[in-house]
Amino acid sequence: MLAGKTVINPTFDTLAAPILPYLGQTQGQMQTTEEAARNDSEAFDEKELKLEKGSKELLSKYLAQLSLCEGKAELESIGVEIKKSKPDMTAQDLKELRASYLEKEDEMKARKTA
């Protein structure tokens, strides 16, 4: 409404009055510090739960792939997938997955030398 217009000696009547009908009748409310902290905490908790659930699903998927893995190329392919999924997994699940991956790698090396 006022875009591109020049208002010389602006007053309430020339500047504010034209936009008042667009502002609505209720004033927005600001959150208190406690409300903001509670909302932030709830959002963080929800995000953590989502991460944990997704991480467990990825862990199960990769453990299954490792158990069925037959060759070095397949193992390396799984390793590439795991690297891409790291941001979506918890540290504990990554630790467990790393141990299983290394165990499978050692198992394949032992089979090759035997």
pTM score of the predicted model: 0.66
Torsions phi, psi of 40, nearest 5?
Answer: -65, -40
Residue 113 located in a structural domain: yes
Residue 23 located in a structural domain: no
The range of the structural domain enclosing residue 105 comes to 56-114
- Number of independent structural domains in the chain: 1
Residue 65 located in a structural domain: yes
Amino acid 69 reads C
Residue 10 located in a structural domain: no
Residue 81 located in a structural domain: yes
pLDDT tens, N- to C-terminus, the chain (114 residues): 667 888 788 898 888 888 888 887 888 889 999 999 999 999 999 999 999 999 999 999 999 999 999 999 999 999 999 999 999 999 999 999 999 999 999 999 888 876
Q: Which of these, 113, 114, 95, 101, lies nearest to 75 by C-alpha position?
A: 101
